[in-house]
Amino acid sequence: MSNKIVLITGASRGIGAATARLFAANGYAVGINYRSRQDAAQAVQRDIEAQGGRCVLIQADVSVESEVINLFRQLDEQLGAPDCLVNNAGILHAQSKLEAMSAERINQLLSSNVTSAFICAREAIKRMSTAHGGSGGSIINVSSMAALKGSPNEYMDYAASKGAIDSMTRGLALEVAAYGIRVNAVRPGLIYTDIHADGGEPGRVDRLKEKIPLRRGGQPEEVAEAICWLASEKSAFVTGSFIDLSGGL
C-alpha cells in the first residue's frame, strides 16, 4: 500500500482520524480534510508525522461545490492526484421525531452527508478514471447501519442520508468499473465516536450496547481496518459491496 495518496474527508475526529492514521501507517500520503476543527486535525497530523508519515491539512466544507473543487486543487498541488477517496464527512443533528424536523434541518443534513459525497466522488473520478488518463483507484463511502434500521424517533433524516449513500455506492460502482475504479462502502453500527454528542446523547453507545450480539460498542480503529482493506489490492475483485461493522446487529 506504499507510495499512494488518499484523501479522507472529515478526518479530524472519530472514524476519519483513525482511518488517516492507519493509511499513513501503511505508507500512504494522506490528505486530511476538515471543516472547522483545526486543532483536532493538527493533532492527527502530529501523530502521523511523529511516525514518519506524510500528510497535509486542507480545510473545506465539502457540501459546497466551490470548496470541493479547491480542496482537490490543493491536494493536486501538495501531494498529487488521489489513488483513494474516503467519503467520511457527515453531520448529525439532535435526536428528533420526523414531526418536529424542519426543512432547513433536513436539507442541511442531506447537503452535508449526500451532496458532499457525490461531488467529492466526481472530482476523484476525473483524476482516477482511465478514460481521463488516470490509472484507476478506489472510492470508499462511509455509510451507516442506520440506512438499514431507519433510526425511528431519533435520526430518521440521518438514516435516509445514509440510504442515499448506499444507492450511490452501488450505482457508481457499476458506472465506473470499466474505468479502473472500485467503489465500496462500510456501514458502521454503534461506534464510540463523539458524533453521538452532536446528537445530544454522548453515552448512546453504552445505553444500547447490550442489544448488540457481541455485547459491546465498536472502535473507530475497527472501521478503519475495513476501509483500508477495501482500498488495498487484497480486495481487488470487490466493488459495489458493503461491509457491515455492527457487532451482529
Positions marked catalytic: 158
First vs last Cα of the chain: how many Å apart? Answer: 31
Handedness of CA 125, 159, 66, 56 (dihedral sign): negative
Nine-digit cell at 121? 466522488
Q: Where are the beta strands (DSSP E) in the chain?
A: 5-8, 29-34, 55-59, 84-87, 137-142, 181-188, 242-245
Nearest to 180 by CA among 123, 133, 228: 133
The residues pairing with 195 across neighbouring beta strands, listed in sequence order, are none
Nearest to 29 by CA among 77, 70, 82: 82
Is the CB of residue 189 less than 8 Å from the CB of residue 146?
A: no
Contacts of 50 (CB under 8 A, 6+ apart): none
What is 40-76 written as a DSSP string? HHHHHHHHHHHTT--EEEEE--TTSHHHHHHHHHHHH
